[in-house]
């Protein structure tokens, strides 16, 4: 067992973990942050995307021990301080960018990383950036639309959601 210390959603966390504990297991089982989902076992689906030191990471691809000293953000930390939905979360609700909700945390975390890197992405850039996130419900239409809307772009010309 190794002791790891990190900040998760702004709170200091310190736990004993074994060397092979994945970040997904650490978040879900140790911290009970079950918003980070596991949809595959080959790092393809993106349901487990979190931010580590500001960069989007598939939490199934790293060990908890690798996050020593890091600042970690998960879906549970994405709302505004007063509990209201953040701009990206609100855009997903406004434009029906989710159905079953299982891929949604990963989509929101990926969208947040995209808009940080590229505040006004084109439709093509959004679709390209979502390459590592699979959604089976929405056909992506309203996810792409929500992300474009969250970036402040006019989406009224896109077919209605």
Partner 1 sequence: MPKDHGIGASQKRREDVRFLTGAGQYTDDINTYGQTYCVFLRSDVAHGTINSLDTSDAEAMPGVVRIFTGKDFEGIGGLPCGWQVTDKHGEPMKEPAHPVLAQGKVRHVGDPIAAVVAESLEEARNAAEAIVYDIAELPAVVDMKAALEAGAAKVHDDLSDNLCYDWQFGSDQAAIDEAFSSAAHVTTLELVNNRLVANPMEPRVALGEYNRANDESTLYTTSQNPHVIRLLMGAFVLGIPEHKLRVVAPDVGGGFGTKIFHYAEEAFVTFASRQINRPVKWTSTRSEAFMSDAHGRDHVTKIELALDADNNFIGLRTDTLANMGAYLSTFSSSVPTWLHGTLMAGNYKTPAIQVNVKAVFTNTVPVDAYRGAGRPEATFQLERLVDKAARELGVDPIALRRQNFIDSFPYATPVAVEYDTGDYTATMDKLEEMIDREGFAARRKESEAKGKLRGLGINCYIEACGIAPSNLVGQLGARAGLYDAATVRVNATGSISVMVGAHSHGQGHETAFPQVVAEMLGIDESMIDIVHGDSSKIPFGMGTYGSRSLAVCGSAMVRATEKIINKAKKIAGHLLEASDADIELKDGQFTVAGTDKSVAWGDVTLAAYVPHNYPLEDIEPGLEETAFYDPANFTYPSGAYACELELDPETGRVTIERFAAADDFGNVVNPMIVEGQVHGGLAQGIGQALLENCVYDENGQLLSASYMDYAMPRAEDVPFYMVDHSCATPCTHNPLGVKGCGEAGAIGSPPAVVNAVIDALHSGGYTHVEHIDMPVSPHRVWKAMQG
Give the nearest distance from C-beta 128 to partner 1 in angstroms.
6
Nearer to partner 1, 69 or 85 (CB): 85
List the interface residues with partner 1, window 25-54 (CB under 8 A).
28, 33-42, 44-45, 47
Q: Considering just the CA atoms, what is the radius of gyration of the chain in Å?
A: 16
Helices (H) and strands (E) in the chain, counts: 5, 5
CB atoms < 10 A from the CB of 11, how many?
A: 10
Measuring CA to CA, how many Å separate 71 from each of 33, 124, 145? 15, 30, 30
Give the nearest distance from C-beta 25 to partner 1 in angstroms.
9
Interface residues with partner 1 (CB under 8 A) are: 28, 33-42, 44-45, 47, 74-76, 78-79, 85, 89, 92-94, 96, 98-105, 108, 123-124, 126-128, 130-131, 133-145, 158-161
């Amino acid at each position: 067992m190794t002791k790891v210390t990190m900040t998760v959603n702004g709170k200091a966390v310190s736990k004993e973990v074994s060397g092979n504990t994945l970040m997904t297991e650490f978040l879900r089982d140790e911290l009970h942050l079950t918003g980070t989902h596991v949809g595959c076992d080959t790092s393809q689906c993106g349901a487990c995307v979190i931010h580590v030191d500001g960069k989007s990471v598939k939490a199934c691809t790293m060990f908890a021990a690798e996050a020593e000293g890091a600042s970690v953000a998960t879906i549970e930390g994405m709302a505004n301080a007063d509990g209201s939905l953040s701009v990206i979360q609100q855009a997903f609700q406004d434009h029906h960018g989710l159905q079953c909700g299982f891929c949604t945390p990963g989509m929101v975390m990926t969208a947040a990383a995209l808009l940080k890197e590229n505040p006004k992405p084109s439709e093509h850039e959004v679709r390209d950036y979502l390459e590592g996130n699979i959604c089976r419900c929405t056909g992506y239409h309203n996810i792409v639309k929500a992300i474009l809307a969250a970036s402040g772009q006019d989406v009224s010309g896109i077919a209605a959601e």
